[in-house]
Amino acid sequence: MNEKSVLHPLMLAGTGSDVGKSVLAAAFCRIFLQDGFTPAPFKAQNMALNSYATPEGLEIGRAQAVQAEAAGVPCHTDMNPLLLKPQNDHTCQVVLNGIAIGQQDACEYFHKGPRRESLRKEVCEAFDRLSRRYNPIVLEGAGSLAEINLHDVDLVNMPMALHAHADVLLVGDIDRGGVFASIYGSLLLLSPEERRRVKGILINKFRGDLSLFESGVQMLEELCGIPVVGVIPYYHDILIEEEDSLALAQKSLQARQGKVNVAVILLRHLSNFTDFNVLEQDPRVHLFYTNNVEEIEKADIILLPGSKSTIDDLNELRRCGAAQAIIRAHRKGATVMGICGGYQMMGAEIRDPYHVEGDIEMMPGLGLLPIVTEMQGKKVTRQVHFRLYQRPEAGLMEGYEIHMGVTRPQSEGKNFTPLNRLEEGDSDGCLGSSTCLGSYIHGILDNPAFIDFLLEPHQEKIHTTNTPFNYHQFKETQYDKLAAHVRAHINLPLVYEILTQDYD
């Protein structure tokens, strides 16, 4: 393909949630990059607790940051102008162009009216800005493209495809069953104008012999009147960051000899679970997710992750006995480390006088660190560079912050040691001891030197040779493997024909 060709925007829309749109968008971003284009991802509205700070210190969904990485470009808020972070079953924090603008319940958010049209204008303008800088734009839909009850207020699926003049590939998950009905039914529920924008079908997560589905491909093409551009087999050996935490509980405890067993506490409102991806790949570590009391007490290291509702999650840990198990495990020698909301939980108390999280104004913490946290309305979002406070020779490291609270020593000057020193001179976190520590920095465990520091008290358990793990190189390899897998199972010349042919 001529690298100077101008391609139409491409949208990956789905028959439902979790059909693989996010990962396929990352795959197409990498394929277009490999083929000489300058792609960029876009999702008008994302609902996720897993977020990321851009180089400008603004907040977007982690999935779009991953897709930008696959595209080889810096992430930007224009790639995800509207982010919804669920607070509970009915309420979300709304992040617009990287900045939290308040909370809304679902009824208020989806209400048709001037506010909704204002949001539509914002996301359309973000797409327009992005499309002037990159080609092609790889758009991702949300949920099903045919949620007809929400059609008039939809910002992210077919209305966005129409605004962008995007060619749409409809993605169906054959692994969950019902793929014929979901694809055909989705198309029937679209208006004629919307249906014309859907140029192909992509079957995802196929298991078994592909030749057995050849008749299925023919049937779909005859039923729908558009081509099936590919059938993507299920894969097991490619590791791409997931958008949500649904599969985390499957990574359960199977305590292993010769490794450090690391338990990540499975919170109800767990956020930024990608903090643990690098640690999970470390050959010295066996990492699992749990809130089971017996499993927690078998761990060598206990990690308390970030939370979108810190006080509520802390209350739940007490209710189920996990909080007490964490304290008992620490007394017996386990390391406890908290990140962001998990760091806040480790202190003496969490105060919420302004009701940022809810009606509870004060909650006692786990009492493991001499700190007190006060929730405040202003959110901190920034990328940071830092060194270990007591071991600066370990080198400069990097990460990012996304949090609402301000944490201070419980008693000024007494028994308080920062964990990190930021490059600009501020301190971060608290080091109670080599086995009790906390930090606000997401991505802190992406730094090999910090992982070495964390594992140091448990060196006697490690029987494997410590070989350096380059996470950046690892991710680049995974994006290339993903692109090769998708490229091998789609009709790429047909996709390029769709993206260059004038159908209007």
18 in Cβ contact with 41 (< 8 Å) = no
Q: Per the domain annotation, does 248 fall within a domain? A: no
No. of H helices and E strands in the chain?
A: 16, 26
Residue 219 sits in the same domain as residue 360: no
Q: Which two tokens stand for residue 275?
A: 């903090």
State how far the alpha carbon of 271 is from the alpha carbons of 51, 52, 87, 398, in Å.
8, 10, 11, 19
For range 245-256, the mean pLDDT = 54
Q: Report the CATH number that the domain containing residue 223 is assigned in CATH.
A: 3.40.50.300
How far is 83 from 44, CA to CA, in rounded Å? Answer: 8
What is the model's pLDDT at position 248?
A: 58
Look up the CATH number of the domain holding residue 375. Answer: 3.40.50.880
- 294-321 pLDDT, tens digit per residue, is 999 999 999 999 999 999 999 999 999 9
Residue 483 pLDDT > 70, yes or no? yes
Whether 313 and 407 map to the same domain: the answer is yes
Coil, helix or strand at residue 377? strand
Give, for 278, the enclosing helix (H) or strand (E): helix 277-281
Using left for φ > 0, alpha for ψ between -120 and 50, and beta otherwise, residue 240 falls in: beta
Q: Do 335 and 190 have their domain in common?
A: no
Asked if pLDDT for residue 504 goes beyond 70, the answer is no
For residues 24 and 73, membership in a common domain is answered with: yes
Domain containing 129 equals 10-239+477-500
Q: Confidence band (pLDDT; 50, 70, 90) for 89?
A: confident
The predicted pLDDT at position 112 comes to 81
Which pLDDT tens digit goes with each residue over 400-441?
Answer: 999 999 999 998 656 799 999 999 999 999 999 999 999 999
What is the CB-side half-sphere exposure of residue 436 using CA atoms within 13 A? Answer: 23
Residue tagged active-site, from 8, 340, 403, 430: 340
377 or 152, which is more confident: 152
Highest mean pLDDT among 66-70, 103-107, 378-382: 66-70
148 and 294: one domain?
no
Kindly give the residue spans of alpha helices, DSSP state H, lying in 90-157: 106-109, 114-131
Q: Is there a catalytic annotation at residue 489?
A: no
Residues 149 and 292 in one domain: no
Is residue 455 domain-shared with residue 481, that is, in the same domain? no
pLDDT band, residue 252 (cuts 50/70/90)? low
Q: Check whether residue 420 and residue 446 sit in a common domain.
A: yes
* Single-letter code of the amino acid located at 36: G
In a domain, 328, yes or no: yes
- pLDDT digit string, tens, across residues 446-473: 999 999 999 999 999 888 766 667 888 9
Give the 3-state secondary structure of residue 72.
Answer: coil
Q: Give the three-state DSSP class for 325.
A: helix
Q: Check whether 256 has a pLDDT greater than 70.
A: no
According to the model, what pLDDT value does residue 250 have?
54
Confidence band (pLDDT; 50, 70, 90) for 388?
very high
Q: Are residues 265 and 374 in the same domain?
A: yes
Collapsing DSSP states into helix, strand and coil, what is residue 415?
Answer: coil
Of 227-231, 255-259, 376-380, which range is least confident? Answer: 255-259
Beta bridge partner(s), residue 121: none
Instruction: Compute the C-alpha angle 415/418/424, nearest 5°.
Output: 145
Mean pLDDT to the nearest integer, 3-12? 87
**pLDDT reported for residue 249:** 53
Q: Tell whether 263 is covered by a domain.
A: yes
pLDDT, residue 236, reads 86
Indicate the range of 84-88, 236-240, 428-432, 476-480 predicted with least confidence.
Answer: 84-88
User: What is the amino acid identity at position 181?
Assistant: A
Catalytically annotated residue among 286, 403, 442, 458: 442
The answer to whether 8 is a known catalytic residue is no
Enclosing H/E stretch for 295? helix 293-296
Total domains in the fold of the chain: 2
How would you classify the pairing of strands 335-339 and 349-351? unpaired
Is 252 within the bounds of a domain?
no
